[in-house]
A and B are shown apart, each in its own frame.
Chain A
Amino acid sequence: EDQVTQSPEALRLQEGESSSLNCSYTVSGLRGLFWYRQDPGKGPEFLFTLYSAGEEKEKERLKATLTKKESFLHITAPKPEDSATYLCAVQAANDYKLSFGAGTTVTVRA
């Protein structure tokens, strides 16, 4: 069974204080690892898909990296508008379902 573990559960940052979120996973053959952002009361918003170890993707202040066992989401010089819950999910090679982690709730104080 696919497993996704995210840490920490919550992260409180000062504006401009860079940090990283971790997503550890086990899956029977990885098709893709996904990062989403979710604001309270809304559906997840797509950020990145990573397909193979060593791959990196960037979008504004966010950068996602992937190894064979984990992925990191780096937030550089965060702003209050980066406050959200960040969800990691994996998709197995033999399926299109997503298995989600519990998420990391990031709060950025001005």
Chain B
Amino acid sequence: GAVVSQHPSRVICKSGTSVKIECRSLDFQATTMFWYRQFPKQSLMLMATSNEGSKATYEQGVEKDKFLINHASLTLSTLTVTSAHPEDSSFYICSADRRGGSKETQYFGPGTRLLVL
């Protein structure tokens, strides 16, 4: 099946630092990728839609200046958590949207566990 990778898988940082998370679609091109956040025992909450070559679309309540998204190619989107604080600690998951054909669906990465001290 389709493969989406994320890097790093786990990161611990000090409060006030910035953290970059990469999401790669390994075997198909994705014009659209999505970024989700998941808190313990909760479901996935969509943060933003990342479109290749254009600005990301953020969900209501998500600060675009805090969560910077760049989708520079058809296989790579990055999420940068700027000036991270302990309340940003969460599980961040990306997905790549595969369109057309029998395998059309969203494929998810393995997630990145962020802990801000």
When A and B form their complex, what is the total count of cross-chain residue pairs whose Cβ atoms lie within 8 Å?
A: 51
Select the stretch in A40-48, A60-68, A71-79 that faces chain B: A40-48
Residue A87 at the B interface, CB < 8 A?
A: yes
Expressed in whole angstroms, the minimum distance between the Cβ of A98 and any Cβ of chain B is 6
Q: How far is the CA of A45 from the CA of B2 in the complex (A)?
A: 10
Q: Looking across the interface, which residue of chain A has its beta carbon closest to that of B1?
A: A46
In which size bucket is the chain A interface? 10 to 19
A25 to B91, CA, bound (A): 26
How would residues 44 to 61 of chain A score, 1 for a CB under 8 Å from any chain B CB and 0 otherwise?
Answer: 111001000000000000
Distance in Å from the Cβ of A90 to the closest Cβ of chain B?
Answer: 12
Most buried by A among B4, B104, B108: B108
Residues of A within 8 A of B93 (CB): 43-44
B39-83 CB mask vs A (1 if < 8 Å, else 0) is 000111110010000000000000000000000000000000000
Within the complex, the shortest CB–CB distance from B93 to chain A, in Å, comes to 5
Question: Could you tell me the distance in whole angstroms from the C-beta of A52 to the nearest C-beta in chain B?
Answer: 15
Contact of B46 with A42 in the complex, beta carbons under 8 Å: no
Interface size on B, residues (CB 8 A): 25
Judge whether B88 is part of the interface by a CB distance below 8 angstroms: no
- Does the CB pair A98–B111 fall under 8 Å? no
- Asked if B43 contacts A102 (CB within 8 A), the reply is yes
B1 engages A44 (CB within 8 Å) = no
Q: Is B15 part of the contact surface with A, judged by Cβ < 8 Å?
A: no
Residues from chain B with Cβ under 8 Å of A32 in the complex: 105
Interface string of A66-97 (1 = CB under 8 A from B): 00000000000000000000010000000011
* A/B interface sample: 23 pairs, CB < 8 A: A34-B106, A43-B4, A43-B95, A43-B108, A43-B109, A43-B110, A44-B44, A44-B108, A46-B105, A49-B105, A87-B44, A96-B97, A96-B99, A96-B106, A97-B49, A98-B44, A98-B46, A99-B46, A100-B43, A100-B45, A101-B43, A102-B43, A103-B43
